[in-house]
């Protein structure tokens, strides 16, 4: 590159006297590569987030490629910091290797620590690596997600993993016996199956558990006792058998044992195994593909129990929910047929009861003091009463639809209300729907063709899926408080406050908003179909309008396209259940999460880095510090490569010149007129001539300020401000400026020379105090301005990037002036902008002023 | 399996699309999207099977990956074009090099798309092809 070519041999012999001298320009080159690489790493992290929206088609190759690029960038980053600091960063490299290995394990599916624990608590599933499905089975994973993500009430309890099953089988030498019995069945022994299995059953029931299993289960039950505050907890124990063979039609049936006292839990578990293994259907499956886990939930003394089906399996087009309910324990449901109340409820909120059939319920199943259950007669004056009040039916329907929306499948949910009328979710199964595939295609296709499109391709999809419902426009906190369950949230902008109602919302549409912001993350977490940045299209919608969002295709239809909603529920393969989606989500935990927030905290160390983002953050901080240290080292020397810029505007910029020749005798300060860099001079001119810089202090409301401080700390706040220094690396044609002003962090990288081919400007802007919606407005403002002046604009959350290249020198100078004006104007812009209207007027005001400033040598700017 | 009639009884055929990608996730995600949009879709993760199918049936549009085990996407699309010059081809690839793109266009592909891509973009591309080149289908 021209700016570094032919540099004089300026040695830093005075810097580290006893070490070999290092070219000053070499150190700056390292610093610059770190800054440039930071930007690329941030772009890649934002890119991975985008791919989770469901809007993109990607494959494993994408995952390999992007993680490999990140690995290489991080390696080079560490190496460059080592060169800059003149020592090896062994500790940092170890941290990188640790994270890299975890990423590699996730991608290969082979974990260094592959031992599966014997027990798992549901709350552990949030952080456990990806062998949870294999170790727990789908039914238990669903219960974990209902508790952890949807935050719905599930009884206290724990799971027994498949490793208990495999260790028990091995410990008791049962594996060959199972095969032998299956072989005998295969050969067509004349004995009936139950006779063949009699001995095997006895062997299983007489089996013993290895000690570590007993200890682990005992520790888990003690934990549950502690939570309950007594040691009389009894359990509902249910086995969960899984067969690895994809598409296996055989679903082993497991029964639930109720009110099992602690002393009996292991015996009951053996009964579950015996029931499952002595099943003739198993002969078709090799032992290695068959596994058993179990759930141990503390027993709820329920007053009412039942099931709820979110769609009629026989007639899905009826769009109804079926509820079955009876008094007492849910275990009585099977035997209560004929004694069960039935309610048919509308799927649409407010879930009107369409029909009900209340039967005479003579008896109910209850808990027996010494364990197990007992049938009790119901007094004649209550036996004809409906088991459920309308308010409870509505509550059940709302809860069931919320669970269905998350799993994107019709469900059958077992539930109960305890004696204090608290609802508990006991079990959730996927519901098989008749004609679930081919027959839904034709009606959906016709329905889409006939449906009126309100808008299409207008916004950014942050979570795919289909939502049908009534619009509810949220303008303020009061609207939010009144948000009706099952509505579609429409707003001109996003707000972190929307997370309060996200579980109630069927879908979300906003005029503006950040695809990597807080709301987007919440929408993905709860899988609420969401399109942001719909612009004025969202403005046309009014509360009460019925619409259908097809977020995967980025289309919003007028009215309820029920065929489309049913189609969404009946899809065979869900993106959110695909291996690639789950893998990308797990990888993000090792890549994008930021733990190193405060550079002055104790854990701000190489060993404290737990993710790639942490490493990047650490390196950036150390690199900036190093350059500042270098400037201090040179302060009283004859050659001063870092000098403070003297200017009327308090920018606090230090200039580091990467000149072909470092001139002797220059002082510690540099005046504006002495700056010989074309891009830097243009930038300063833009600031001065536009008059955009306002020194008048603007008030920031404390709520906004606190909201900014309490939000997840992002890289955007990790600028050179911590050290109070804004640094510009310049040469005659080049400038790299890292500028922190207030809470905005700007990076400009520009080359402006005589050859149009070489010219480029990259402008990156992020951060900012005040609440999220105003920051989004600011992103919109900058984006609009840059686009109006031919920049290619991308935005990722708070970060906005504008690029322009290969334009003539005079035009590029005009663009730099524009950026100067933007820096001055946006310094406190998000504090000033209040609404969409004021945003539009400010865009026009800004353009009117900057047009005059951008004129260069008599040329008109090219808006 | 193939439905050549619309609800109204018209004789217009649906646009026939073949998708070939050795990564099942791509087929699993593209198929329902195209079906929903009203096209007839068949997906393959193995190029030999896809090739065999094209001998039985002429597709209007073929969407294919390039880098695959066995017969490569480039060989596949060359064969398809030879058999059925009217078939339009869209290449989707995670290895989008200038050379591959040049070669694809020389062989007459309609478009060359780098993975990852937006679902709506490829739907739009097919819609455009349908409007321009396959006016006699629905």
A678-718 tens-digit pLDDT:
999 999 999 888 787 764 444 434 333 333 333 333 333 33
Instruction: Label residue A22 by pLDDT band (50, 70, 90).
Output: low
Task: Compare CB distances from B29 to A57, A446, A449 and report the shortest one's residue.
Answer: A57
Could you tell me the two tokens for B90?
Answer: 């869209």
Asked if A345 and A323 count as a contact pair (C-beta separation under 8 A), the reply is yes
Instruction: Label residue A530 by pLDDT band (50, 70, 90).
Output: very high
Task: Compare CB distances from A59 to B26, B122, B124 and report the shortest one's residue.
Answer: B26
Three-state SS at A405:
helix
Q: A55 and B118 in contact by Cβ < 8 A? A: yes
Cα–Cα distance between A339 and A362 in angstroms, integer? 7
Say yes or no to pLDDT of A471 above 50: yes
Could you tell me the two tokens for A48?
Answer: 């991975």
A63-86 tens-digit pLDDT:
999 999 999 999 999 999 998 888
Cα–Cα distance between A290 and A704 in angstroms, integer? 55
Question: φ and ψ at B114, to 5 degrees?
Answer: -85, 135
Say yes or no to pLDDT of A807 above 80: no
Mean pLDDT, range A214-240, rounded to an integer:
92
Say yes or no to pLDDT of A667 above 70: no
Report A:13-52 residues touching B (Cβ under 8 A): 51
pLDDT at A719: 36
Say yes or no to pLDDT of A318 above 60: yes
Percent of chain A topping pLDDT 90: 35
Task: Compare CB distances from B115 to A57, A448, A578 and report the shortest one's residue.
Answer: A57
pLDDT at A794: 77
Mutate which of A57, A438, A515, A550 to disrupt the B interface (most B C-beta within 10 Å)?
Answer: A57
Say yes or no to pLDDT of A345 above 90: yes
Say yes or no to pLDDT of A833 above 70: no
Closest-CA distance of chain B to residue A457, Å: 8
* Alpha-carbon torsion (A112, A115, A121, A122), positive or negative: positive
Asked if A56 and A461 count as a contact pair (C-beta separation under 8 A), the reply is no
Report A:760-789 residues touching B (Cβ under 8 A): none
pLDDT at A17: 47
Task: Compare CB distances from B36 to A59, A444, A575 and report the shortest one's residue.
Answer: A444
Cα–Cα distance between A515 and A512 in angstroms, integer? 9
Q: Which of A288, A292, A352 is nearest to A321 (CA)?
A: A352
The alpha carbon of residue A234 and the mean position of all alpha carbons in its chain are separated, in whole angstroms, by 37
pLDDT at A434: 61
The pairing of beta strand B16-20 with beta strand B61-64: parallel
Q: B94 and A62 in contact by Cβ < 8 A? A: yes
Cα–Cα distance between A242 and A255 in angstroms, integer? 14
Instruction: Label residue A166 by pLDDT band (50, 70, 90).
Output: confident
A259-316 tens-digit pLDDT:
999 999 999 999 999 888 877 666 665 555 678 899 999 999 999 999 999 998 888 8
pLDDT at A861: 43
Please indicate if any CB of chain A lies within 8 Å of the CB of B136.
no
Closest-CA distance of chain B to residue A553, Å: 6
Which secondary structure element, helix H or strand E, spans residue A842, and what is its range? helix A836-853
Interface confidence (ipTM) of the complex: 0.90
Mean pLDDT of chain A: 80
The pairing of beta strand A56-57 with beta strand B88-93: unpaired
Mutate which of B119, B127, B138 to disrupt the A interface (most A C-beta within 10 Å)?
Answer: B119
Give the number of other Cβ atoms within 10 Å of residue A362's Cβ. 13
Please indicate if any CB of chain A lies within 8 Å of the CB of B8.
no
- Chain B partners within 8 Å of A62 (Cβ): 94, 115-116
Rg (CA), chain A: 33
Instruction: Find the DSSP H helices in A513-560.
Output: 518-526
Cα–Cα distance between A495 and A507 in angstroms, integer? 15
The alpha carbon of residue B116 and the mean position of all alpha carbons in its chain are separated, in whole angstroms, by 16
For A88-127, the DSSP string reads --HHHHHHHHHHHHHHHHHHHT--SS-PPPSEE-GGGGGT
pLDDT at B137: 67
Instruction: Label residue B138 by pLDDT band (50, 70, 90).
Output: low
CA distance readout (Å), A860 to A550, A753, A857: 45, 19, 9
Q: Determine the Cα angle at A110 with ends A109 and A111, to 5°.
A: 110
Minimal-distance CA residue of chain B relative to A447? B36
Please indicate if any CB of chain B lies within 8 Å of the CB of A567.
yes
Question: φ and ψ at A432, to 5 degrees?
Answer: -80, 130
Instruction: Label residue A251 by pLDDT band (50, 70, 90).
Output: low
- Chain B partners within 8 Å of A54 (Cβ): 119
Q: Which of A455, A687, A466, A689 is nearest to A563 (CA)?
A: A466
- Chain A partners within 8 Å of B7 (Cβ): 442, 446
Please indicate if any CB of chain A lies within 8 Å of the CB of B127.
no
Q: A61 and B94 in contact by Cβ < 8 A? A: yes
pLDDT at A232: 86
pLDDT at A724: 45
**Cβ within 8 Å of residue A828, ≥6 positions away:** A694, A698, A742
pLDDT at A201: 86
Instruction: Label residue B4 by pLDDT band (50, 70, 90).
Output: very low
Say yes or no to pLDDT of A632 above 50: yes
Please indicate if any CB of chain A lies within 8 Å of the CB of B118.
yes
Please indicate if any CB of chain A lies within 8 Å of the CB of B9.
no
**Cβ within 8 Å of residue A762, ≥6 positions away:** A39, A747, A748, A749, A750, A801, A802, A803
pLDDT at A264: 93
The alpha carbon of residue A473 and the mean position of all alpha carbons in its chain are separated, in whole angstroms, by 25
pLDDT at A154: 95
Of residues A812 and A832, more confidence is placed in: A812
Give the number of other Cβ atoms within 10 Å of residue A373's Cβ. 17
Give the number of other Cβ atoms within 10 Å of residue A466's Cβ. 25
Say yes or no to pLDDT of A509 above 80: yes
Say yes or no to pLDDT of A779 above 90: no
pLDDT at A529: 94
Q: B25 and A445 in contact by Cβ < 8 A? A: no
Could you tell me the two tokens for A171?
Answer: 């410990």
Say yes or no to pLDDT of A47 above 60: yes
Lowest mean pLDDT of A206-215, A247-256, A341-350, name the range: A247-256
Percent of chain B topping pLDDT 90: 75
Please indicate if any CB of chain A lies within 8 Å of the CB of B120.
yes
Please indicate if any CB of chain B lies within 8 Å of the CB of A698.
no
Lowest mean pLDDT of A172-181, A383-392, B58-67, name the range: A172-181
Say yes or no to pLDDT of A511 above 80: yes
Kindly report the pTM of this predicted structure: 0.71
- Chain A partners within 8 Å of B38 (Cβ): 445, 448-449
pLDDT at B24: 93
Lowest mean pLDDT of A194-208, A212-226, A340-354, name the range: A194-208
- Chain A partners within 8 Å of B116 (Cβ): 51, 56-59, 62
Report B:83-112 residues touching A (Cβ under 8 A): 92, 94-95
Lowest mean pLDDT of A338-352, A568-582, A791-805, A825-839, name the range: A825-839
Q: Which of A795, A805, A706 is nearest to A756 (CA)?
A: A805
Q: A446 and B117 in contact by Cβ < 8 A? A: no
Mean pLDDT, range B24-28, rounded to an integer:
94
Report A:61-90 residues touching B (Cβ under 8 A): 61-62, 65
Percent of chain A topping pLDDT 70: 78
């Amino acid at each position: 590159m021209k700016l570094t070519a032919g540099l004089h041999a300026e040695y830093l012999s005075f810097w580290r006297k006893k070490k070999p001298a290092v070219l000053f320009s070499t150190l700056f080159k390292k610093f610059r590569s770190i800054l440039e690489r930071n930007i690329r790493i941030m772009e890649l992290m934002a890119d991975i987030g985008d791919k989770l929206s469901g809007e993109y088609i990607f494959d494993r190759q994408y995952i390999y490629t992007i993680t490999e690029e990140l690995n290489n960038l991080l390696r080079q980053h560490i190496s460059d910091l080592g060169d800059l600091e003149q020592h090896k960063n062994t500790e940092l490299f170890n941290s990188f290797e640790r994270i890299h290995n975890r990423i590699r394990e996730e991608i290969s599916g082979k974990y260094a620590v592959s031992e599966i624990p014997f027990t798992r608590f549901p709350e552990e599933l949030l952080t456990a690596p990806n062998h949870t499905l294999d170790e727990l089975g789908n039914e238990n994973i669903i219960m974990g997600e209902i508790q952890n993500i949807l935050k719905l009430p599930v009884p206290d309890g724990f799971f027994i993993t498949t490793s208990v099953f495999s260790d028990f089988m091995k410990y008791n030498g049962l594996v060959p016996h199972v095969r032998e019995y299956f072989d005998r069945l295969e050969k067509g022994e004349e004995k009936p199956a139950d006779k063949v299995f009699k001995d095997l059953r006895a062997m299983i029931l007489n089996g013993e558990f290895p000690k570590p299993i007993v200890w682990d289960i005992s520790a888990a039950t003690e934990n549950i006792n502690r939570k309950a505050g007594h040691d009389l907890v009894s359990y509902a124990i249910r086995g969960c058998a899984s067969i690895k063979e994809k598409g296996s039609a055989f679903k082993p049936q497991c029964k639930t044992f109720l009110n099992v006292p602690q002393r009996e839990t292991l015996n009951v578990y053996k009964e579950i195994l015996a029931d499952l293994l002595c099943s003739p259907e198993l002969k078709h499956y090799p032992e290695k593909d068959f596994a058993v886990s179990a759930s141990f939930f503390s027993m709820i003394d329920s007053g009412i129990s039942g099931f709820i089906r979110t769609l009629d399996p026989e007639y899905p087009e009826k769009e109804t929910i079926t509820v079955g309910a009876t008094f007492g324990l849910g275990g009585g449901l099977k035997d209560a047929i004929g004694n069960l109340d039935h309610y048919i409820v509308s799927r649409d909120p407010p879930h009107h009861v369409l029909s009900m059939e209340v039967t005479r319920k003579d008896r109910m199943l209850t808990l027996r003091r010494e364990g197990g259950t007992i049938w009790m007669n119901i007094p004649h004056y209550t036996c004809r009463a409906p088991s459920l009040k309308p308010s409870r039916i509505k509550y059940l329907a709302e809860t069931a639809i919320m669970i269905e929306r998350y799993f994107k499948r019709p469900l059958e949910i077992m539930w109960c209300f305890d004696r204090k009328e608290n609802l508990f979710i006991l079990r959730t199964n996927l519901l098989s729907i008749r004609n679930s595939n081919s027959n839904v295609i034709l009606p959906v296709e016709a329905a889409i063709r006939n449906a009126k499109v309100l808008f299409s391709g207008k916004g950014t999809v942050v979570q795919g899926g289909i939502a049908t419902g009534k619009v509810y426009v949220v303008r303020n906190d009061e609207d939010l408080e009144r948000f009706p369950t099952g509505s579609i949230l429409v707003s001109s902008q996003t707000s972190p406050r929307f997370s309060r109602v996200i579980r109630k919302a069927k879908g979300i549409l906003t005029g503006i908003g950040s695809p990597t912001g807080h709301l987007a993350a919440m929408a993905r977490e709860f899988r609420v179909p969401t399109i942001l940045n719909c612009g004025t299209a969202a403005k046309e919608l009014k509360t009460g309008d019925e619409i259908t969002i097809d977020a995967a295709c980025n289309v919003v239809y007028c009215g309820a396209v029920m065929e489309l909603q049913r189609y969404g529920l009946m899809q065979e393969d869900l993106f959110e259940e695909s291996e690639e989606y789950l893998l990308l989500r797990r990888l993000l935990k090792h890549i994008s999460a930021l733990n190193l927030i405060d550079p002055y905290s104790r854990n701000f160390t190489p060993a404290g880095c737990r993710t790639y983002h942490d490493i990047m953050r650490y390196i950036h901080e150390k690199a900036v510090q190093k350059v500042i240290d270098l400037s201090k080292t040179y302060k009283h020397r004859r050659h001063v490569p870092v000098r403070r810029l003297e200017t009327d505007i308090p920018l606090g910029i230090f200039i580091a010149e990467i000149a072909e020749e470092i001139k002797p005798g220059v002082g510690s300060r540099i005046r504006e007129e002495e700056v010989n860099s074309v891009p830097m001079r243009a930038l300063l001119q833009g600031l001065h001539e536009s008059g955009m810089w306002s020194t008048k202090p603007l008030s920031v409301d404390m709520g906004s300020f606190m909201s900014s401080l309490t939000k997840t700390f992002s890289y955007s706040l990790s600028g050179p401000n911590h050290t109070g220094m804004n640094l510009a690396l310049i040469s005659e044609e080049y400038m790299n400026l890292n500028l922190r002003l207030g809470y905005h962090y700007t990076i400009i990288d520009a080359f402006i020379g005589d050859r149009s081919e070489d010219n480029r400007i990259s402008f990156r802007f992020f951060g900012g105090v005040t609440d999220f919606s105003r920051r989004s407005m600011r992103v919109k403002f900058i984006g609009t301005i840059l686009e109006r002046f031919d920049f290619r604009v991308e935005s990722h959350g708070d970060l906005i990037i504008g690029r322009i290249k290969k334009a003539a020198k005079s035009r590029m100078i005009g663009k730099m002036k524009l950026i100067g004006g933007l820096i001055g104007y946006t310094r406190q812009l998000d504090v000033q902008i209040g609404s969409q209207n004021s945003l539009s007027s400010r865009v026009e005001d800004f353009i009117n002023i900057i047009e005059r400033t951008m004129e260069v040598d008599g040329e008109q700017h090219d808006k | 399996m193939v439905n050549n009639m619309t609800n109204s009884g018209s004789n217009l055929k649906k646009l026939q699309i073949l998708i070939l990608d050795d990564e099942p996730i791509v087929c699993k995600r593209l198929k329902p999207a195209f079906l929903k949009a009203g096209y007839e879709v068949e997906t393959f993760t193995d190029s030999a099977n896809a090739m065999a199918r094209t001998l039985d049936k002429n597709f209007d549009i073929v969407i294919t990956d390039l880098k695959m085990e066995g017969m490569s996407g480039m060989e596949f699309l060359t064969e398809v074009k030879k058999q059925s010059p009217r078939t339009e081809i869209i290449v989707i690839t995670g290895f989008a090099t200038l050379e591959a793109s040049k070669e694809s266009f020389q062989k007459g592909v309609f478009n060359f798309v780098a993975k990852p891509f937006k679902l709506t973009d490829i739907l739009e591309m097919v819609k455009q092809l349908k409007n321009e080149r396959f006016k006699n289908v629905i």
